[in-house]
Amino acid sequence: MNKFLLTVLLASVVGSAQAADVTYTTGAFSRNGFFSLGTGMKQGMAMRLSKEKLALLKGKQITGIKVLYGSKNVEGGQVTAFLTTELGGIPIATQTQALTTANVSSTTAKWTETTFPQPYTITGEEDCLYLGYEGSMTGAYKLYSTDQTQDAAACSYAIMNDSWIDTNGRGKGMANIKAVLDEVPAHTDALLKTSNLSGYYLAGNAYTLHGQVYNAGTETIQSIDVDVELDQTMTLTYTGLNLQPGQTYDITLPDVSALESGSINMGINVAKVNGAADADMSDNRYAEIVFFYPANMERSLLVESFTGQSCSNCPTGHATMKRVLAQTDQSIVEVAHHAGYNPDNFTMMEDLHYTMFYGSNSTYAPAFMINRWPDANKYIPVQEVSEANILSILSQTAPSHPYASLKLASDYNEETREVKLRLQVYGHEDMGQTQNVLNVVMIQDGMIDIQSNGGSDYEHNHVFRGAVTGNEWGLLADFTPGEVVTYETTFTLPESIRASYWTDERLASSSKTAEKVTKAVVPSDVHFVGYIARYVDNDPALNYVHNCVVAPLGGSYTQRAFSEGADAITTPEANTQYAIRVVDGRVCADHRISHLSVYDMLGRQHSATDRLTPGLYIIKGIAAGKTISQKVLVK
């Protein structure tokens, strides 16, 4: 029977010696769990006190904060603690805190307390308050520390790419921050954490949900009542408890199942603590639509590897990937990008763009990602190849939603080499208020060329040969449950493909020739990979793949649960969004853009092939006969 973890948190203020601390964290930390978000040097975390929480603390004074820091490597060796009504706004109070080896956690937790020059008296009328810190990192260090528990909405925040975001939904848990008060009245405050109930569920199966109660209150919890709302409300009562502050208690919720595909509304509410209503009932309930896919639903995972011909460890990495993936019962579709080490004879321009998933300007090989899913502890999708890492990401992607079933087919004329290709997407479930794309790429097996530690006749498989759609990120489309989105195109399969990374300018400054980077296209070795994915510009952690399919040239594959009789909707038109990025200081633009020119903010023109120094630039080019421009920040 499948298991799914649901976490319920009872959060309030702590008593006795720490009666002046208000927090949502367990206080747990792991040195391996320290992290940063985005590529910006500006970093910071904050906790939020809600209107209801502040009403309970009316008249009390906030004197400072306590923080578990992950690194001392900040500009000037210090951070600024703050209290404010709006993140990024004018603070009510600030205080600088020096960070040294003495007050940064390593093997043991070291809470650093910062006292504000003047205490702030809570009026009880505030909409909310934020307590946190800001600093600028001096390199690729990790300042953030969280307790690695379940997330909760509107409680913990962090800076990513110079903007504050709610960290809910990112699998990091609560910020290791405590608000320091002069006094805190004894009371309970049950906060029901955000629990992603809607895993990958199939009709006909029963799923057992588990819960965890955490006591961060001032009083021992002796009993709890939890209402579970399905077709009817069921109250689970747990008595005889001795749940002390800082301890957890695990509960098992009723099985959830459905005989047919469809949605079930489910709600969970912490109704009573110690036989009485909670002091703050505003955050006690969580509801979600639990979706069950057809019993014959088929989902495949997109496994993308990053490799390079000059990578001496890659043959071993390739063997590890093959061995571990062969052992899983998951359906796997593989694509190999030759951009994780040095650009080689196979590197396409799209490959270089996909290196954004590393989350930084540095790449390595052998590396991989599965469904472009970010590792819970490292945040970025790209991971080093190891059996443990592969198995870990496979496990993390297990509850992810496929949302739709795919059908991919192509007709091939051997005489003219004409290809008629069609990708169809049948939606099962609403994908939410996000941008989503479909895409088709071409891969080729059996490509013989040199490989470090592999010899001169090494066989390179699943090699990425370009995006059929002409856009590496895919075409934006609206996927509606019960309807089919169709993408069709006709093109001539080339006799050979020149690795598009190797422009004439790049060849002129290298030891390579056009012949060396041009490879024959053997029809029998060609496959197409179609996939649907979420699209969030410039955030490597949120562009995850929902479902994918692979089919040979001239063949087809239809996933189970694809509905042939569904209503068809308009084929998505060519994406008018043109990707211009800067990778390692160099301008990268997709294939549809030509005549690139680069200007700094003083109007001075720079070569589009040079490595740019840090600063703000305007990049212009020609696409579809029109001039386009984009502002980019080089860090």
Residue 523 confidence (pLDDT): 97
Render the burial of 315-329: b for 16+ CB within 10 Å, e for the rest: bebbebbeebbeeee
Query: Over pLDDT 70: what percentage of the chain?
Result: 91
pLDDT digits (tens, 9 = 90+) for 196-240: 666 899 999 888 877 777 776 777 878 889 898 887 788 989 899
Lowest mean pLDDT among 33-47, 218-232, 565-579: 565-579
- Pick from 341, 339, 329: nearest CA to 304: 339
Query: Over pLDDT 90: what percentage of the chain?
Result: 56
- Is the model's pLDDT at 552 over the cut of 80? yes
pLDDT band at 11 (very low <50, low <70, confident <90, very high): very low
**First and final CA of the chain: distance in angstroms?**
49
pLDDT digits (tens, 9 = 90+) for 421-466: 999 999 999 998 789 999 999 999 999 999 999 999 999 999 999 9
DSSP-assigned letters across all residues of 504-571: HHHHHTSS--TTTTEEE--GGGEEEEEEEEE--TT-TTS--EEEEEEEETT-EEE-TT--TTSEEEPP
Residue 16 confidence (pLDDT): 35
Residue 324 confidence (pLDDT): 96
Domain 190-293 class?
mainly beta
pLDDT digits (tens, 9 = 90+) for 595-608: 778 887 777 788 87
d(CA 58, CA 493): 72
Report, as an integer, the average pLDDT of 80-108.
Answer: 89
Tell me if the pTM is above 0.85. Answer: no
- Pick from 379, 381, 380: nearest CA to 371: 381
- Is the model's pLDDT at 304 over the cut of 80? yes
Task: Output helix, strand, coil percentages for the chain, rounded to the nearest 5.
Answer: 10, 45, 45
Residue 424 confidence (pLDDT): 97
The answer to whether 4 and 208 have CB atoms below 8 angstroms apart is yes
- Is the model's pLDDT at 634 over the cut of 90? no
Give the C-alpha distances (Å, rounded to integers) separating 7 from 119, 175, 277, 439, 528: 35, 16, 20, 36, 41
Q: Mean pLDDT across the chain, nearest whole number?
A: 87
- Is the model's pLDDT at 571 over the cut of 70? no
Judge if 190-293 and 300-569 fold alike in CATH terms: yes
- Is the model's pLDDT at 287 over the cut of 90? no
pLDDT digits (tens, 9 = 90+) for 466-518: 999 988 999 999 999 999 999 999 999 999 999 999 999 999 989 899 999 99
Higher pLDDT, 626 or 241: 241
Residue 14 confidence (pLDDT): 34
DSSP-assigned letters across all residues of 28-79: ---GGG-B--SS-SEEEEEEEEEHHHHHHTTT-EEEEEEEE-S---BGGGEE
pLDDT band at 10 (very low <50, low <70, confident <90, very high): very low
pLDDT digits (tens, 9 = 90+) for 274-286: 999 988 888 888 8
Report, as an integer, the average pLDDT of 5-13.
Answer: 37
Residue 625 confidence (pLDDT): 60
Ranges of each domain in the chain = 20-181, 190-293, 300-569, 580-634
- Is the model's pLDDT at 1 over the cut of 60? no
d(CA 422, CA 440): 9
pLDDT digits (tens, 9 = 90+) for 162-182: 889 999 877 788 899 999 999
Residue 247 confidence (pLDDT): 74
Q: How many residues does the chain have?
A: 635
Lowest mean pLDDT among 288-297, 533-542, 562-571, 584-593: 584-593
d(CA 192, CA 201): 23
Residue 138 confidence (pLDDT): 86
DSSP-assigned letters across all residues of 270-315: EEEETTB--S--TTSEEEEEEEEE-TT---EEEEEEE--TT-TTHH
Residue 612 confidence (pLDDT): 84
The alpha carbon of 355 is separated from its chain's Cα centroid by a whole number of angstroms, namely 15
Report, as an integer, the average pLDDT of 608-624.
Answer: 78
Residue 17 confidence (pLDDT): 32
Domain 300-569 class?
mainly beta
pLDDT band at 592 (very low <50, low <70, confident <90, very high): low
| Domain 20-181 CATH (choose: 2.30.110, 1.20.120, 2.60.120, 2.60.40) | 2.60.120
